[in-house]
Chain A
């Protein structure tokens, strides 16, 4: 149990490289090495709209199916115009040596006229288990 806790903490510490918070989602691609069965990615989210917006974070596999057992530092968040924040996402390797997935930030829909449009930005990340 203690070993599992330590492995998880290591996994938390090995985050993706820090990007510049200048766009909607950054970085858009990264490899993360982890010692445990989970790995974490830190993404920077920025609200490019001229008014406050609500965003939802999701994780999908490469077939765009939702990934279960994911931890988010914030799953839903509101950002002021031009504001940015970072979000930690901890995803499982599920016993595999490496796993690719998308982390997506989706804005609330712009409605009116019957056909609403919402924007979604998805970065692609790969977790790699460290080989001893």
Chain B
């Protein structure tokens, strides 16, 4: 009887040892590292359309028949700002069109950044993510008129690190 008891005791102890052995299986951590560089992307999506006012003194994308250009700005952080530079002259136009002309731009922002009718020279802080810009451009003649012909100008959407 004593032998049977001691035999059961040994069997039980062995079972506990086996069970405890399986519960101590080793684990290993697999570490992943990554880095996202601080960066900004500007994509000009579509050009705008210029239209003339009734007195031929204003060429603008906001006039009837005109339309804004579009650009997409993607910022990896909120450390960037956007501006829209006006041109210093027409790319193509009838002779003398630059004379007495003032160029200007405005922009609207939606998406990661929200802004409305901002003067192009005014910087807007960009939110991290994708911002869609609607860009308007104008050319105003203080003296004289814009003659018939083909006109084109270029605006520059700039994403820059904040000062």
Using a CB–CB cutoff of 8 Å, the interface residues on chain A facing chain B are 19-20, 22-29, 46, 48-49, 62, 102, 104, 106-107, 109-124
Contacts and interface: CB of A to CB of B under 8 A. Distances in A.
A106 B85 CA distance: 12
A114 B152 contact: yes
B42 A120 contact: yes
A22 B152 contact: no
Given A110-B44, A113-B67, A117-B48, A122 B38 contact: no
Interface in B20-40: 35-40
Q: Is the interface of B mostly helix, strand, loop or mixed?
A: strand
Contact of A117 (B36, B39, B71, B80): B71
Interface string B82-94: 0001000001000
A62 B163 CA distance: 8
B100 to A, nearest CB: 19
Contacts, number: 145
B76 interface: yes
A118 B42 CA distance: 9
Interface in B106-163: 135, 137, 150-161, 163
A117 to B, nearest CB: 4
B47 A23 contact: no
A24 B85 CA distance: 19
Contacts of A23: 37, 39-41, 74, 76
Given A26-B39, A29-B79, A110 B156 contact: no
A120 B85 CA distance: 10
B61 interface: yes
A28 B152 contact: no
A43 B89 CA distance: 30
Nearest to A24: B41
Nearest to B38: A28
Contacts of B76: 23
B46 interface: yes
B79 to A, nearest CB: 7
A22 B159 contact: no
Given A22-B39, A27-B38, A28-B39, A114 B48 contact: yes
A120 B38 contact: no
